[in-house]
Amino acid sequence: MPTSDERDELTCQQAPQIHEMMQAQLDGKLAASDATRLQAHLRDCPLCRAEWERMQALDDLLRAAPMVQPPVRLRVMVMARLERREQARQAVFGWIGLSLATVALTMLALAPFLLDWFYQSGIAPAVIAGGPTTILQVLVCVRSIGQAFLVVAVQFLVPAALLGGGCLALACSWGQFLFRQIAVTQKQTEN
Amino acid sequence: MTNDAIRAAEVRGTTDGNDPEAEWIRHARQGDHVAFGRLVLAYQTPVYNLAYRMLGNAGEAEEAAQEAFLRAYTRLHTYDPQRSFRTWLLSITSHYCIDLLRKRRIIWLSFEDEIAASDDTTKESLAHLSANTPNPETVVTERERAAHIQKLLSTLSPTDRAAITLRYWNDCSYEEIAETLDLTVSAVKSRLHRARRSLAQMMEESL
């Protein structure tokens, strides 16, 4: 039997075709005529015969090995992880919803002041005077800002938006209180 | 659902209108976890076996099998019902294991390390191989053979290892292996041939 080094030096000229036939034979895909040809060659070629015996030994070893059975807890673990993933997803959406609601409520609270500022500063009259096209452009701009804010909120600032909304609401309340105080002071001064 | 029906679906691996597996898949797509659990039950053995043969470690194979099923669930909306569900699922598993092996650059484990492994899950898996052969000598022989096979497989590249596993343990055709591993049929034949010659040589040298 030649050693592996000796095999490297000795080669059968039909080796590529014979090896291909060996593989097909192992996989049960060799035609009967080619199987006969293979057997005839193996009878005459010790190199290929040795190769075939090695391939057969390997094939027998691998075919005799059964499927490795999974641990009984595998299915339970998969379903548990699936449930946790679903719960986490719902929690994220819950946070996003809460943050958006907070921001919306804050904007509603600030709306009277913002609208008053828009009119006082001349922005609102200018937009209205610009006609429907200008109003549409402003709305598109506001929507873009809103979408950008949503992307950032979803990605990074979910808890920060909640905190920011709270701060804005607090600032709104204090602002209202200060305005009222200033108005009362001015009235007292005039009297 | 009877065990016979589940096994039949597992062996068939294809979906059709009369196959309960098609119903499970349809319900799982709509978020039915119970239906997906049935799919897990039907395919946990081939998925785990593929992961174990590729990774060589029962703990990592279990983790990989879990991850493969979770990925399958999140990607169910991309599954084409015209395609074999088994092939699609094994494709997810093999690609995950191949990526893991490439990141880890697995090094061949010594024969002695395999025998001396104190991993309970490894012992559990190997013990199941000889569940019906209580003869202690046979048990040891089975474990040695299993370790020897893993030692041989660990010498192959990740893709070759996947091809050999799909051929010998999942009884996949060349076309199914090609579809699973995103290769051409000729590439599959070439890889199988090369892997077999390499394994045969390693086996001879280890004797």
Distance in Å, alpha carbon of B65 to nearest chain A alpha carbon: 8
Backbone region of residue B35 per phi and psi (left: phi > 0; alpha: psi in -120 to 50; beta: other values): alpha
Confidence band for B78, pLDDT divided at 50, 70 and 90: very high
> Is B177 within the bounds of a domain?
yes
Least confident residue range of B23-27, B31-35, B107-111: B107-111
Q: Apex CA A155: angle with CA A151 and CA A160, to 5°?
A: 100
Nearest CB to B45 within list A20, A26, A67: A67
B52 φ/ψ angles, rounded to the nearest 5 degrees: -65, -45
**In chain A, which residue's Cα lies nearest the Cα of B56?**
A68
The predicted model scores a pTM of: 0.66
Chain A residue with Cα closest to B39: A75
pLDDT band at B116 (very low <50, low <70, confident <90, very high): very low
Calpha distance B125→B58 (Å, rounded): 7
Helix (H, G, I), strand (E, B) or coil at B196: helix
A162 within 8 A of A102, measured Cβ to Cβ: yes
Of B45, B70, B193, the CB nearest to A70: B45
State the complex-level ipTM.
Answer: 0.75
- Residue A79: both structure tokens together: 């379903």
Provide the residue type at A125 as one letter. Answer: P
Binary contact (B196, A23; C-beta < 8 A): yes
Q: Count of domains in chain B?
A: 1
CA angle B140, B55, B201 (to 5 degrees): 70
DSSP string, A11-34: --TTHHHHHHHHHHHHTT---HHH
B40 and A79 in contact by Cβ < 8 A? Answer: yes
Name A119's Cβ contacts closer than 8 Å, sequence gap at least 6: A125
- For residues B50 and B162, the answer to whether their CB atoms sit within 8 Å is yes
CB within 8 Å: A71 and B125: yes
Higher pLDDT, B49 or A184: B49
- Whether B40 is in a domain gets the answer yes
Task: Give the CATH number for residue B99.
Answer: 1.20.140.160
- Cα separation values, A174 from A27, B81, B132, Å: 82, 61, 79
Q: Which sequence spans correspond to the domains of chain A?
A: 4-64, 74-190
Amino acid at the residue B34: V
Could you list the pLDDT tens digit for every one of the 191 residues in chain A? Answer: 555 555 544 578 888 889 999 999 999 999 999 999 999 999 999 999 999 999 999 999 999 999 999 999 999 999 999 999 888 877 777 777 777 777 777 777 777 777 777 777 777 777 777 788 888 888 888 788 877 877 776 666 567 767 777 888 888 888 887 888 788 888 877 76
Say what the pLDDT of residue B7 is: 45
In a domain, B196, yes or no: yes
Tell me the residue range of the domain where B49 lies.
3-106+154-206
Inform me whether the pLDDT recorded for B151 exceeds 60. yes
How close A78 gets to chain B, by Cα (Å)? 5
| B74 in any annotated domain | yes
Phi-psi region of B7 (alpha: psi -120 to 50; beta: other; left: phi over 0): alpha
